[in-house]
Amino acid sequence: MNWKQIDRNTRVQHNGVYTVWKQQISNECFNQCVYCSIHENPWGGIDHYHIDHFRPQSKFNALKNTITNLYHTCPICNKFKSDDWQNEPNDLEIICYPDPSDHNYSNLFTIDTTNYTLEGRYVSSRYLINRLYLNRPQLVYERREHFLNLKANALIEESKKLLELTVDIDLVRTASKIKDNLVQLLIARKNIVPYKLLDIKKPKKKKA
C-alpha cells in the first residue's frame, strides 16, 4: 500500500542493547510495519509494535544488537514471522524474506483493486503473503479505505473544478455545502478504528 524502503546508510548504530532503541527503530522505519506497511498510530502507537530481528535471534545471535538487522513491525507480522528463516535473500525468485533495506516492498506486490487483496510478483513475495498472512481481513480493510479515500478526494477535486465554472450563485452555495459535508465526513471517518480480535486470527488450513 504505502511501503517505504529503509535507508541502511542513515541508520545509527549505538553500543548497548537493542531493547532501548525502539523509538529510533520506529523513526528509521517511518513508524510503520516494514512488512504490511500499517502505521503504528491506529494500532495504539509504538507500545503495541515490536522490534523484529530480520535474521532471527535464535539463528543469528551475533546480529542481536546490529541496527541494520532490526526493523519496526506490527505484532501480527512479527508473530507470524517468528524465527522463520528460509534462505539468504539473494534472489527474489527463491523462498526468502526480501530485506526491507534492499527493496521497496511496493515493488514486490500488485494490489487487486476489485477486492483489495495483494498478489506477489515473485516467489519471495508470494511466500511473504502466505507466511505473514498479508491478506488478513484488517489489511484488506485498510487497503479498501485507502483506495476509497483516494477516489473520494478525486471526486472532491472534480466538483471544485465544476463549481468554478458555474455562474448560478444558489447552485454554487448548495453544491459547496455538499462538498464541505463530504470533506468533514472523510475527516471523521479517519478516526474510526474497527479492529476486532477475531479479525487477526489466521484461518486453519482445511485437511484435504
User: Quick check: 118 binds Zn ion (CB under 5 A)?
Assistant: no
CB-based burial, 96-119: b 16+ in 10 Å, e otherwise: bbbbbbebebeebbeeeeeebbbe
Q: Find the binder of Zn ion among 70, 74, 96, 118 (CB under 5 A).
A: 74
Residues 186 and 174: their CA atoms lie apart, in Å, by 19
Is 104 within 8 Å of 3 (Cβ atoms)?
A: yes
Place of cell 523509538: 23
User: Quick check: 134 binds Zn ion (CB under 5 A)?
Assistant: no
User: Quick check: 96 binds Zn ion (CB under 5 A)?
Assistant: no
Is 22 within 8 Å of 46 (Cβ atoms)?
A: yes
Q: Find the binder of Zn ion among 18, 35, 97, 127 (CB under 5 A).
A: 35
User: Quick check: 36 binds Zn ion (CB under 5 A)?
Assistant: yes
Q: Find the binder of Zn ion among 77, 96, 118, 134 (CB under 5 A).
A: 77
- Work out how close the CB of 16 gets to Zn ion at its nearest, in angstroms, rounded to a whole number: 26
User: Quick check: 29 binds Zn ion (CB under 5 A)?
Assistant: no
In the complex, which residues of this chain contact Zn ion (CB under 5 A)?
A: 33, 35-36, 74, 77
